[in-house]
């Protein structure tokens, strides 16, 4: 997949949620994870993070949002259930994006929102668990940027066949991909 993404949390307080977010970030292929003013001992996240993501996914800790530095060209995307946020199914995920989630109690701070290039929301009746919200956003990014074949019009219809260089076979520089039959 082209581009990259990071996952972050502001003032997260429950080790299980931190662990769940980190594990999902690792599983979906995040490039790094960051926590702004976390309320929790990071070591405790191992209770839910059975993939031990901290060993495989770079983790950056910041005391405040002012300290957060992102790679050049990486858009900060705030995820919060607010009136002005774009609904996720209509959101164009930036090629390079860092998604930031709010705390279990309360929501993203004004300081963090003002740093965000975009605000998105999951169209739910009320807030879901932050770990769940993270997985939904990452899955939506995968769906929209992952280069998957489109769904057939009905369950029995033929699915779309993609050229192997789009999905499946690994692209090797200088080696022609096999013909698709």
Binding site for ligand SAM (CB under 6 A): 79-81, 101-102, 104, 106-108, 121-122, 124, 127-130, 133
Distance between CA atoms of residues 78 and 176, nearest Å: 41
Q: How far is CA 46 from the centre of its chain?
A: 20
Rounded to whole angstroms, the Cα distance separating 154 from 71 reads 42
* SS3 call for 76: strand
Three-state secondary-structure class, residue 150: coil
Cβ nearer to ligand SAM, comparing 79 with 97: 79
How many Å apart are CA 100 and CA 7, to the nearest integer? 6
Provide, rounded to whole angstroms, the least separation between the CB of residue 129 and ligand SAM: 6
Looking at the Cβ atoms of 54 and 131, the one nearer to ligand SAM is 131
CB of 16 to ligand SAM, least distance (A): 13
Measured from each CB, the residue nearest to ligand SAM is: 102
Euclidean distance between the first and the last CA atom of the chain, given in angstroms as a whole number: 24
| DSSP 3-state of 135 | helix
Q: Which is nearer to ligand SAM, 57 or 130 (by Cβ)?
A: 130
Q: Distance between CA atoms of 12 and 36, rounded to whole angstroms?
A: 8
Q: Whose Cβ is closer to ligand SAM: residue 84's or residue 179's?
A: 84
Shortest distance (Å) from residue 115 CB to ligand SAM: 14
Query: Cβ 136 to ligand SAM, closest distance in Å?
Result: 8
Measured from the CB atom, the residue of 143 and 169 that comes closer to ligand SAM is 143
CB of 166 to ligand SAM, least distance (A): 31
Q: What angle do CA 72, 139, 98 make, to 5 degrees?
A: 20
How many other C-beta atoms can be found within 10 angstroms of the C-beta atom of residue 29?
14
């Amino acid at each position: 997949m082209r581009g990259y993404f990071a996952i972050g949390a502001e003032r997260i307080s429950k080790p299980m949620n931190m662990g769940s977010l980190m594990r999902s970030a690792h599983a979906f292929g995040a490039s790094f994870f960051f926590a702004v003013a976390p309320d929790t001992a990071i070591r405790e996240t191992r209770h839910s993070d059975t993939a031990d993501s901290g060993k495989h996914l770079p983790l950056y800790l910041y005391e405040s949002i002012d300290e957060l530095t992102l790679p050049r060209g990486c858009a900060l995307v705030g995820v919060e259930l607010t009136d002005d946020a774009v609904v996720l199914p209509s959101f164009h995920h930036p090629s390079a994006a860092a998604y930031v989630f709010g705390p279990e109690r309360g929501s993203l701070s004004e300081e963090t929102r003002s740093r965000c290039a975009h605000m998105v929301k999951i169209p739910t009746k009320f807030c879901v668990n932050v770990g769940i919200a993270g997985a939904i956003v990452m899955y939506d990014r995968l769906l929209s940027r992952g280069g998957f074949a489109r769904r057939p019009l009905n369950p029995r219809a033929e699915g779309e066949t993609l050229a192997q260089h789009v999905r499946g076979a690994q692209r090797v520089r200088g080696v022609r991909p096999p013909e698709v039959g």
